Structure 1
Amino acid sequence: MQIENAVALVTGANGGIGKHYTETLLALGATRIYAGARKISSLDDLVAIDPDRIIPVALDITDETTVEAAALQCSDVNLLINNAGIGLLKGFISAPNLSAARSEMEVNYFGTLAMCRAFAPVLKANGGGAVINMLSILGRVNFPMNASYSASKGAGYILTQGVRAELAAQNTLVIGVMPATVDTPVSQDFPPPKVAPETVVQAALQAVVDGVEDVYPGEQAETMAAQLLSDPKGLEKAMAAMLPQPA
């Protein structure tokens, strides 16, 4: 599949990585980019870049009514980019309650699943196309400082494998993108190394062209992915040293 002339939908388009997805899709010649966000007014500056090709969509991926409405509105999509997500920096035991864990799972797992379910028939009708799920290397190994986020991204990793299996027969490529720390405002207090959002987006879109299913953009993610193969317990122990602060 080529990005040129593609019709894409980007969830969480008002965020750091989502904005880069939209701008890169424009530069690569996508015919139309639907930019999804809960508050459509938050997309004004993005849409202003090219109002003819960037179409704002009111979309809360945790609300199946708006998900279904988006599938009807964006019936020509052949590239779905599930970028919307949250991370609330809570541990499992140290968190004061389960609200962060529930919110992360609702967005990062159930929201992504709802989007895949709603757009699977759309993609099929348009020749198969591709799905990009923005995951994290922390879905492969737990990071205690952001433990429940890791769990939600782990659920997203397994979700991606299962959706890939179910949609293979309709010729839909399903890609999991697993960066480590991305250099966005959300991670401004995290120590380096950080991968540029542009690098993440470029790697993900190149995977669409090349038919690659698992993407680890950036040196940190590549190193951790290699260690998961060579010394998974060592990586787990190294990550376990970074504990959350007491509530």
Structure 2
Amino acid sequence: MDIAGSTALVTGANRGIGRRFVDELLARGAKKVYATARRPERIDTSDSRITPLYLDLLDEKSIADAAAAAQDVAVLVNNAGIATGAQLLTDDLDRIRQDLETHLFGTLRVIRAFAPHLASNGGGAIVNILSVLSWVATPQGSASYSVAKAAEWNMTNGVRVELADQKILVQGVHLGAADTDMMAGRDALKIDPADVARASLDGVQAGAIEVLVDDPSRFVKAALSGDPAQLYSVPSGN
């Protein structure tokens, strides 16, 4: 699809990857971008094409209200998320549920609210920002976050199947680490968040259902067909 002249909505648009999506959508000629956040007053509205909206993935009313206000959406970017830092064996289960409620159920709530609008508008695109941690767990990352992103990844696949006959592209975007507030203080090679937005929207325009933004995501995806021991520092024998 062509971004020029379209209307988009981006969750978690006040900073990081979400903010770069807003910038890139506008640069490609989007006529309107609904920029959503839990603190919409922090969104830069210097461009008249930006409309800030309140949206919290854990607040179903806020999602319904946003969907009612933005019925002209053709491109939906699900970027908002959290990282509790919870470990699976030692931390409170409620913290693990929070990761799942946000990334899996929260994102799904947004899709369920907006998919009918995309369909009635003749189709469009849904972009889910995932992670290399959808496929692998690392000592440096949160195991709880990995579980939530793995669930969100296959939810993305399931939604794609269910929307296949409605002219709606469902794209999953995988990356290692981007230079955002969420990754602040982490010792990792970080890409520019703008690169994520550019790669994803290039993929939307090309009809790509999956975008691997960086080398870590490409390496792990390729390794999935081999011995999983190459991804973990654990013995592969008995």
Q: TM-score, normalised by structure 2?
A: 0.94
Q: Which runs of 5+ in 1 are unaligned?
A: 242-247
1:131 matched to 2:131? no
> 151-160 or 33-42: which moved more?
33-42
TM-superposed deviation, 1:192:
2.8
Alignment of 1:227-246 (within 5 A): 227-235=223-231, 237-238=232-233
TM-superposed deviation, 1:15:
2.4
- Which residue pairs with 2:146 in the alignment? 150
Asked if 2 retains the 8 angstrom alpha-carbon contact of 1:193 and 1:220, the reply is no
- Which residue pairs with 1:244 in the alignment? none
Number of residue pairs the alignment of both structures matches: 234
Q: 3-state SS of the aligned residue for 2:142?
A: helix
Q: 3-state SS of the aligned residue for 1:230?
A: coil
1:105 matched to 2:100? yes
Q: 3-state SS of the aligned residue for 2:97?
A: helix
- Which residue pairs with 1:30 in the alignment? 30
Asked if 1 retains the 8 angstrom alpha-carbon contact of 2:10 and 2:35, the reply is yes
Distance in structure 1 (CA, Å) of the matches to 2:23 and 2:191 = 18
CA RMSD of aligned residues (A): 1.5
Distance in structure 1 (CA, Å) of the matches to 2:15 and 2:94 = 22
- Which residue pairs with 1:47 in the alignment? 45
Distance in structure 2 (CA, Å) of the matches to 1:79 and 1:54 = 14
Distance in structure 2 (CA, Å) of the matches to 1:66 and 1:77 = 16
TM-superposed deviation, 1:107:
0.9
Distance in structure 2 (CA, Å) of the matches to 1:221 and 1:198 = 17
1:65 matched to 2:69? no
1:78 matched to 2:74? yes
TM-superposed deviation, 1:66:
1.2
Give deviations 1:19-76, integer Å, cap 9, x for gaps.
1111111111111000001122122xx112x0x2000111112211111111110010
Q: 3-state SS of the aligned residue for 1:57?
A: strand
Identical columns (%): 41
TM-superposed deviation, 1:108:
0.6
Matched AA of 1:133 = N
- Which residue pairs with 1:141 in the alignment? 136
Q: 3-state SS of the aligned residue for 1:191?
A: coil
Q: Which runs of 5+ in 2 are unaligned?
A: none
- Which residue pairs with 2:168 in the alignment? 172
Give deviations 1:221-244, integer Å, cap 9, x for gaps.
112211223333321x14x79xxx
Give deviations 1:177-233, integer Å, cap 9, x for gaps.
111111112212222322221111111111100111111101121122112233333
Q: 3-state SS of the aligned residue for 1:47?
A: coil
Higher helix share: 1
Matched AA of 2:111 = C
Matched AA of 2:49 = R
Q: TM-score, normalised by structure 1?
A: 0.91
